[in-house]
């Protein structure tokens, strides 16, 4: 039976559903690992392989979206008010120290990066995507760890 953690918000009880948290963390891990698997591919091979580019871009977008979805699930349970943007969802978690300022900053960058990737289709900076996958995925691991610690301590 899943654990459901309760918080109150303006007189209503809102729930943190363990299944949602665990599911999102597993998805984030899966998508991040998919990206990490391609780190051994040379840049020239990556730039010549449109199928690989599409797969990596999709995995990156899915990982980022799963982080945002998890923030969106957690925010109302902590009575953090309403937000209008994905960036505000993530900033709310920093404000109450669920995630660190450093992780929140990287997640905010990722929101912008995801927004850049999603509508661009053929107009993507593949060099930049390659560099992100090579050098800039550790923040996602930190995000997962910080959320897991928060959840355990509730």
3-state secondary structure at position 50: helix
Q: In the structure encoding, which two tokens stand for residue 84, read together?
A: 């209008």
Q: Residue 88: how many CA atoms within 13 Å on its side-chain side?
A: 7
- Regarding pTM above 0.85, the answer is no
Fold classified for 14-153: 1.20.120
Cα distance between residue 117 and residue 58, in whole Å: 9
Domain ranges for the chain: 14-153
pLDDT (0 to 100) of residue 119: 62
Q: Is the pLDDT of residue 12 over 80?
A: no
pLDDT in tens, 131-146: 999 998 999 999 999 9
Angle subtended by helix axes 50-74 and 138-153, to nearest 10: 30
Please check the confidence at residue 10 and state whether its pLDDT lies above 60: no
Note the pLDDT of residue 3: 44
């Amino acid at each position: 039976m899943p654990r459901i953690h309760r918080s109150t918000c303006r007189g209503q009880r809102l729930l943190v559903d363990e299944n949602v948290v665990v599911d999102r963390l597993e998805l984030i891990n899966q998508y991040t690992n998919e990206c990490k698997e391609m780190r051994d591919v040379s840049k020239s091979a990556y730039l010549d392989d449109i199928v690989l580019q599409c797969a990596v871009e999709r995995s990156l977008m899915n990982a980022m979206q799963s982080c945002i979805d998890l923030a969106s699930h957690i925010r109302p349970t902590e009575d953090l008010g309403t937000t209008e943007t994905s960036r505000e969802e993530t900033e709310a978690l920093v404000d109450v120290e669920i995630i660190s300022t450093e992780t929140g900053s990287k997640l905010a960058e990722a929101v912008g990066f995801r927004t850049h990737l999603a509508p661009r289709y053929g107009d993507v900076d593949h060099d930049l995507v390659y560099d992100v996958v090579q050098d800039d995925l550790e923040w996602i691991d930190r995000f997962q760890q910080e959320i897991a610690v928060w959840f355990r301590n509730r």
